[in-house]
């Protein structure tokens, strides 16, 4: 069964649909979603993408991400994918959106109108090994320091999201008072 993405214009108005891999080969602008989940300590849940992913395998990224299916509302898709990738759901709220285009070594192109959702969760994720190799909670300040020192360890869209968050939500990036990175959970 083929997956299809929603093609959009620069105002996020749907203009058609296309098979997902074809859209990534042609670099067509399509709707996407990224989810960031925070715990009560203000840490962000990251996932290390599965090594079997069609692009950016093994890189660290936001809690979950995907594409809404044709006819699917972005919030519904975000909730669905969070459950499929990380094994839990929570109330999600859209925070902002942006457009980016990135070329990958394997010839694929991500050209996305990305809707960014925030949620909260204090439990233990049950990651889907087909989607994620590992996950960890990390303080936003520590995360930005690591992104700046090792940007190649993170997906391009996640680096953009974090830059936008640093501009929009500077209070999240207050100086840390204690070691705040928890150990990585692996399957």
Q: Specify the pLDDT at position 2.
A: 77
Class of domain 4-186: alpha beta
Q: Specify the pLDDT at position 173.
A: 77
Mean pLDDT by 10 residues, the chain (187 residues): 91 98 97 98 97 94 97 97 98 97 93 98 97 97 96 97 91 59 42
Task: List the one residue out of 83, 53, 57 whose CA is nearest residue 155.
Answer: 57
Q: Specify the pLDDT at position 181.
A: 44
- Considering the entire predicted model, what is its pTM? 0.90
Write out the catalytic residue numbers: 65, 112
Q: Specify the pLDDT at position 175.
A: 60
Alpha-carbon span 17 to 42, nearest angstrom: 37
Q: Specify the pLDDT at position 178.
A: 44
Instruction: Write down the domain spans for the chain.
Output: 4-186
Q: Specify the pLDDT at position 176.
A: 53
């Amino acid at each position: 069964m083929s997956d299809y993405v929603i093609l959009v214009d620069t105002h996020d108005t749907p203009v058609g649909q296309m098979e997902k891999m074809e859209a990534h080969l042609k670099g067509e602008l399509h709707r996407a979603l990224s989810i960031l989940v925070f715990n009560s300590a203000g840490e962000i849940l990251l996932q290390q993408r599965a090594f079997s992913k069609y692009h950016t395998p093994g890189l660290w990224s936001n809690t979950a991400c995907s594409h809404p299916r044709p006819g699917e509302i972005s919030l519904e898709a975000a909730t669905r994918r969070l459950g499929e990738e990380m094994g839990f759901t929570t109330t999600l709220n859209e925070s902002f959106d942006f457009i980016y285009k990135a070329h990958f070594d394997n010839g694929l192109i991500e050209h996305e109108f990305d809707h960014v959702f925030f949620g909260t969760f204090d439990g233990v994720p049950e990651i889907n090994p087909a989607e994620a190799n590992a996950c960890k909670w990390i303080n936003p300040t520590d995360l930005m320091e690591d992104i700046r020192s090792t940007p190649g360890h993170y997906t391009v869209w996640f680096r953009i999201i974090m830059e936008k968050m640093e501009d929009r939500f500077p209070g999240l990036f207050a100086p840390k008072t204690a070691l705040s990175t928890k150990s990585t959970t692996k399957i």
